[in-house]
Amino acid sequence: MKQTHFGAHLCLDGYGGSISCLNSKDTIKNALYELPQILGMERITRPKVKHCTPRNLKDSGGYSGFVIIAESHISIHTFSKKGFLTADVYTCQSKLAKGKIISYFKRTFCLKSVEINYIKRGLSFPKQDLY
């Protein structure tokens, strides 16, 4: 396939999730291991997941997780008491298996609905090295 842009980026915001899954460090870490495998992306770091303490009415706490893929990344932030999750899957491949990613998140965190933004990144990415 002719590459006409740098990469593909899926932003997923999910609602009505399971408080126990959204509040599970292991579930989030596991997702950061599984998703790159499912999508054929090469991890170059181990996933890092950090607990976020409650800060105010809006941010009532959760977890933030991240993994660096070869020149791209996956991130997951959860707000367990709000049933909310906001995730990014960014690949330098020209497209992403959107359906597979959406199903994975819905299933893993028992999300009732999702909101998707899908962006083609780097529309003028050079085909050759410049330097």
Give contact residues for a copy of itself (rule: CB under 8 A). Answer: 3, 6-7, 9, 11, 13, 15-16, 19, 44-45, 48, 50, 52, 55, 57-60, 62, 64, 66, 68, 70-73, 75, 77, 79-84, 86, 88, 90, 92, 113, 115, 117, 119, 121-131
Among 77, 80, 103, 113, the active-site one is 77
| Tokens 């899957």 -> residue | 89
> Which residues lie below 8 Å from residue 32, measured CB to CB, with a gap of 6+?
47, 49, 65, 66, 67, 74, 76
Smallest gap, in angstroms, from Cβ of residue 6 to a copy of itself? 6
5 belongs to the catalytic site: no
Smallest gap, in angstroms, from Cβ of residue 71 to a copy of itself? 5
Among 92, 103, 113, 124, the active-site one is 92
51 belongs to the catalytic site: no
3 state DSSP class of 93: coil
Q: Is 130 exposed, middle or buried (0-12, 13-18, 19+ CB in 10 A)?
A: exposed
Among 9, 72, 73, 80, the active-site one is 72
Among 41, 14, 42, CA closest to 107: 14
The residue among 40 and 58 lying less far from a copy of itself, judged by its C-beta, is 58
Structure-token pair, residue 106 = 């819905």
- Catalytic annotation, residues: 72, 77, 92
